[in-house]
Amino acid sequence: MISDIDKQRFEYIWHLYKTNKTDKDLPFEQHVPCDPHVWQFPESLVEYHNLVFEKGYTALAGKTVLDIGCGNAWYLGCLENIVKKYTGIDHVAKNITYARIMASIVDVDSTFIIDKAQNVKTMADTIMMLSVTHHIPDVINFFDKFDCENVILDSWEKLQGVDLLSVINCLESKGFDLYEKHEWYGGSTKEFGKRFILHLHRQHK
């Protein structure tokens, strides 16, 4: 279950992000959590944490992790004392600015890169792509550049012309086994169909 400190970190980074403040304006230790009667950590994100990080623990524990489209890395605390090394990439400079602030208040060996996913060259044991596959042109061939053991996807059924089944079939053709697939209702949109959290593993020879 997600910890209270991670709920506070989540609230803090989004408060800064939405108000265009930085940790210089409001250090984490001076941030006052919202009154629980006014704001509570969304139940949908408690479920999201379980489906992504608890279900994916084996793929994360002691692993190097490449997070493509990391945004402001609001979930970085969920990887604390779990991953060996975390690399986040996002093409939006503001996202990386806040991801680095998030990294400053968690104990995770982190590196952040401002770039497009197509330009990624960093390798890792585990690739995370949380709600970004539909933004990547030719996502099927995109996986050819990686030689990872694990893939964790948060993805919709319809990905701007490429359906989720095609992505799964592509990864399975590369030797991955789909061992977890769960529908998540917290961020559904009719435009892309149902939304799923998927975990895939490949046993290296």
> What CATH number does residue 191 fall under?
3.40.50.150
**1 within some domain:** no
Task: Give the highest mean pLDDT range of 79-88, 149-158, 194-203.
Answer: 79-88
In the chain, the number of structural domains is 1
Tokens representing 144 are: 């050819």
Per-residue tokens: 80: 């604390």
pLDDT for 164 beyond 90: no
Rounded CA-CA distance 40/42 in Å is: 6
Residue 193 located in a structural domain: yes
The model's confidence at residue 38, banded by pLDDT at 50, 70 and 90, is low
Q: Is residue 29 part of a domain?
A: no
Among residues 63, 51, 92, which one has the least CA distance to residue 197?
51
Say which amino acid occupies 118.
Q
Which residue segment(s) compose the domain that 149 sits in?
42-201
The model's pTM is 0.91
Within-domain flag for 11: no
Cβ contact 177:202 at 8 Å: yes
Show the CA angle centred on residue 64, arms to residues 63 and 69, nearest 5°.
Answer: 125
Q: Does any domain span residue 110?
A: yes
Give residue 63's pLDDT band: very low, low, confident or very high (50, 70, 90): very high
- Asked if residue 144 is part of any domain, the answer here is yes
In a domain, 17, yes or no: no
Both tokens assigned to 114: 């401002």
More confidently predicted of 33 and 199:
199
Give a yes or no: residue 106 inside a domain: yes
CA 84 → CA 60, 65, 101, 163, distances in Å? 8, 8, 19, 33
